[in-house]
Chain A
């Protein structure tokens, strides 16, 4: 497990935390509205000001990397709306953990039916971050959520309105993605996975996903 020794203090509401052993933690947490109407990662921003966040479009969910102490990690992980990713990113997902992982992601409108016990947590995070990037682009272009009323991951492409299909197409094309494999009967979750598979890797706090 990587450890980063902090010589400087992490601010908590003005109080200083003595030099603490931290390790890089990755989690999915709600984006919380803070002072100045700024969205920050819930539970993280008020224990450390050192983090990197990727937002799931306009869904107010963030994938976050932040150096946390074991105590901070445990405390944040107890929150029901947090998905705390195990320290060992390269461990495969156990049969016991698999439904929990899938349920947690699907609950946030993040497709997870493709996840199996042969995937590592890093591989899952990599794909999840590609979904994040796509929805990021959708929000930039259209200033609204993709998941308008009536649209779920199980909506078929041919059930979307023409305007919704056009918005999806425009988003994909603006990112140089090939939409030729998307068919009418295809589910939204399948289409997003097809598009996501074409996208490049990214980094969060220097970790490659």
Chain B
């Protein structure tokens, strides 16, 4: 496959189905599933976190994961996020997304799961509406959460000494309610472009000897 990688989760049907074979469930997490009527991703079981990463392409250590936030019904218990640097065979990744109730000011978080340890790196409030596109980028040790729909950088943080490599993915949970209380759609994952392009190393340019 070629980058950018994407999945609109369009499966047809009227029930729930597994993600395509291009997804691998994150070690230690539950498997997300597709609501085939709405063609969106939801949970399989309330109270069981769900996460998966894209396995059909190789990514640079600096990459991004992007989702449409379809549903996050309630504060504190419903969370929808993009994930980056998801490690194969380990419960290790960064996540960036928001709690409910979307459609106004919500709590966003950039967090980190490292095995048994689940911690918040950065938290705050932002306006996120239904179907807004959120993107979590990781470059070096810097994580940036963006609202692509509003062209806003929501927040940024660093995690020196953290994860490298891995792949982009998705993560969501519902602590209480229904499996449809957290839903996402239209995932995209890609490498981040190198800063500055081909001329990044040149402080000055000369033409015909004139600076």
Interface residues of A (CB under 8 A from B): 8, 31, 35-40, 45, 49-55, 58, 133-140, 143, 175, 199-200, 202-203
Taken together as a complex, chains A and B put the C-alpha atoms of A31 and B159 apart, in Å, by: 16
Taken together as a complex, chains A and B put the C-alpha atoms of A202 and B158 apart, in Å, by: 8
Query: B92 at interface (Cβ–Cβ under 8 A)?
Result: yes
| Residues A58 and B117 in contact in the complex (CB < 8 Å), given A8-B125, A51-B123, A52-B122 | yes
| Interface set, chain B 96-137, CB cutoff 8 A to A | 105, 107, 111, 114-115, 117-125
A200 touches B107 (CB 8 A): no
Q: Given B76, B119, B163, which contacts A31 in the complex, CB threshold below 8 Å?
A: B119
B162 touches A136 (CB 8 A): yes
Query: B175 at interface (Cβ–Cβ under 8 A)?
Result: yes
Query: B196 at interface (Cβ–Cβ under 8 A)?
Result: no
Q: Which of B119, B158, B161 gathers most chain A CB within 10 Å?
A: B161
Q: Given A53, A200, A203, which contacts B120 in the complex, CB threshold below 8 Å?
A: A53
A140 touches B92 (CB 8 A): yes
Query: B10 at interface (Cβ–Cβ under 8 A)?
Result: no
Q: Which residues of A contact B120 (CB under 8 A)?
A: 38-40, 45, 53
Query: B160 at interface (Cβ–Cβ under 8 A)?
Result: yes
B118 touches A136 (CB 8 A): no
Query: B173 at interface (Cβ–Cβ under 8 A)?
Result: yes
Q: Which of B105, B115, B117, B175 gathers most chain A CB within 10 Å?
A: B117
Taken together as a complex, chains A and B put the C-alpha atoms of A143 and B141 apart, in Å, by: 19
Taken together as a complex, chains A and B put the C-alpha atoms of A49 and B120 apart, in Å, by: 11
A25 to chain B, nearest CB (A): 15
Q: Which residues of B contact A55 (CB under 8 A)?
A: 119
| Residues A52 and B121 in contact in the complex (CB < 8 Å), given A140-B161, A199-B160, A202-B158 | yes
Taken together as a complex, chains A and B put the C-alpha atoms of A55 and B118 apart, in Å, by: 11
Taken together as a complex, chains A and B put the C-alpha atoms of A55 and B173 apart, in Å, by: 23
Q: Given A50, A134, A175, which contacts B123 in the complex, CB threshold below 8 Å?
A: A50
Q: Given A38, A138, A203, which contacts B111 in the complex, CB threshold below 8 Å?
A: A38
Q: Given A38, A50, A175, A203, which contacts B119 in the complex, CB threshold below 8 Å?
A: A38
Q: Which residues of B contact A134 (CB under 8 A)?
A: 161
A49 touches B107 (CB 8 A): yes
| Interface set, chain B 154-207, CB cutoff 8 A to A | 157-163, 173, 175
Name 7 extra pairs, CB < 8 A, besides A36-B175, A138-B161: A35-B77, A45-B120, A45-B123, A49-B123, A51-B124, A53-B120, A140-B162
Q: Which residues of B contact A202 (CB under 8 A)?
A: 141, 158, 160
Taken together as a complex, chains A and B put the C-alpha atoms of A140 and B117 apart, in Å, by: 10
| Interface set, chain B 140-162, CB cutoff 8 A to A | 141, 157-162
Q: Which residue of B lies closest to A36 (CB)?
A: B175
Q: Which residue of A lies closest to B105 (CB)?
A: A8
A49 touches B158 (CB 8 A): no
Q: Which residues of B contact A45 (CB under 8 A)?
A: 120, 123
Q: Which residues of A contact B125 (CB under 8 A)?
A: 8, 49-50
Of all A-B residue pairs in the complex, the 3 with the closest CB atoms, nearest first, are A137-B161, A133-B160, A136-B161
Q: Given A35, A50, A203, which contacts B175 in the complex, CB threshold below 8 Å?
A: A35
Taken together as a complex, chains A and B put the C-alpha atoms of A202 and B121 apart, in Å, by: 13
B158 touches A203 (CB 8 A): yes
Q: Which residues of A contact B159 (CB under 8 A)?
A: 136
Q: Which residues of B contact A39 (CB under 8 A)?
A: 117-120
Q: Which residues of A contact B114 (CB under 8 A)?
A: 139-140, 143
B127 to chain A, nearest CB (A): 10
Q: Which residues of B contact A38 (CB under 8 A)?
A: 111, 118-120
Q: Which residue of B lies closest to A50 (CB)?
A: B124
| Residues A36 and B123 in contact in the complex (CB < 8 Å), given A140-B162, A200-B160 | no
A49 touches B124 (CB 8 A): yes
